[in-house]
Amino acid sequence: MSKRAKPLLQDEAFTAKSKPRRKRDPAQPNLPFDPMPDRVEPCLALLKTAPPVGPDWAFEIKWDGYRLAIHIEPKGVRIITRGGHDWTHRFPAIAAAAKKLGVGTAILDGEAVVLNAEGQSDFGALQRSLGGRGGKRSSTESILFAFDLLYFDGHDLTKTELSVRRHLLEDLLEGAVGAIQLSEEIEGDGTGLLANACSLGMEGIIAKHRDSPYRSGRTGDWLKIKCVQSDSFMIVGYEQSAAARGGIGSLLLAGRRGHDWVYVGAVGTGFKEKDAIYLKKTLDQLKTRTPVVPIKGKNYVFAQPTLIAEIEFRGWTDDGNLRHASYKGLREIQDNAAVVEMNG
């Protein structure tokens, strides 16, 4: 495999070298060409059932963790969540690795994950490393898989095509094996890659259009294709069970339809005894006599809609309930975890 060339930024024809917008700071004679943004709203992947076809698409593994933007400046490093919160203190190892990259200014886009023994991203393990939902712990074992470079060495790269941004990112992270690593592009056709990812127990793949600029929101430039469907649902109560460890037989779930809640069924697998004890204690504090969705059950305890759960499922039944649902963990509301919007 040939070694990647590094001289991109010395190329006078390089498209990201725009004209100076303001006088240069004499303390930083080579910077900035473009002002560095305080925050870039992330580009989000649109869910599709099958991968796209053709040479215009690049593929990566879909990581299951927290989306983060790493802002590197001479004055220090900031780690910003998808929802715009500063979580630098929650990811000290990633912040330390960012300082060692040896770049004056950069914004990396990536996903913080904790890997299991098989090398797969484990969302539950990431949550535990942060002290659980609402926890205040710092995650020392998390790794950032960086997949995009939005700003680099005084250049705003958001208007340049993905292939250029990736080339610069690969050069920046060449050989990196610590708390920041490159999310590698995987070669092959999407259908075969998805089958491989699913057989290895991964969540799925991401497809990105090679010629696309970096556009915030779900534009269709990036697509996600999942092995198993996964979404965020509101916990609206639980079914008590004397037999189940932790006292919870199943969690009652709801999705959103406009301003209303819609019941989507219950989930009784995927949580350990420790999860169940925490969920029961927290839901009991949120107890309400009136359910937010019109359901009845002898052993049901209803809760105010506050806790958001990430649920894996295999599809939908004809009456609008989740099929083969499994609990993955709680989502942080402050990390912009959006409850699924029901159609119709």
State the catalytic residues. Answer: 62
- Chain centroid offset of residue 77 CA: 20
Dihedral of alpha carbons 208, 214, 220, 221, sign: negative
Cα–Cα distances in angstroms (integers) from residue 248 to residues 2, 131, 273, 284, 303, in the given order: 56, 21, 9, 11, 13
Amino acid found at 225: I
Phi, psi of 170 (to 5 degrees): -60, -40
Asked whether the beta carbons of 202 and 63 are under 8 A apart, the reply is no
Tokens of 72: 């590197």
Q: Which residues contact 136 (CB under 8 A, 6 or more apart)?
A: none
Q: Which residues contact 164 (CB under 8 A, 6 or more apart)?
A: 8, 15, 16, 157
The SS3 assignment for 63 reads coil
Dihedral of alpha carbons 257, 263, 267, 271, sign: positive
Phi, psi of 255 (to 5 degrees): -110, 180
Tokens of 147: 């997949």
Cα–Cα distances in angstroms (integers) from residue 96 to residues 76, 106, 178, 207, in the given order: 10, 14, 10, 30
Among 241, 343, 344, smallest CA distance to 300 is for 241
List beta partners, residue 261: 256
Asked whether the beta carbons of 311 and 325 are under 8 A apart, the reply is yes
Among 227, 251, 239, smallest CA distance to 307 is for 251
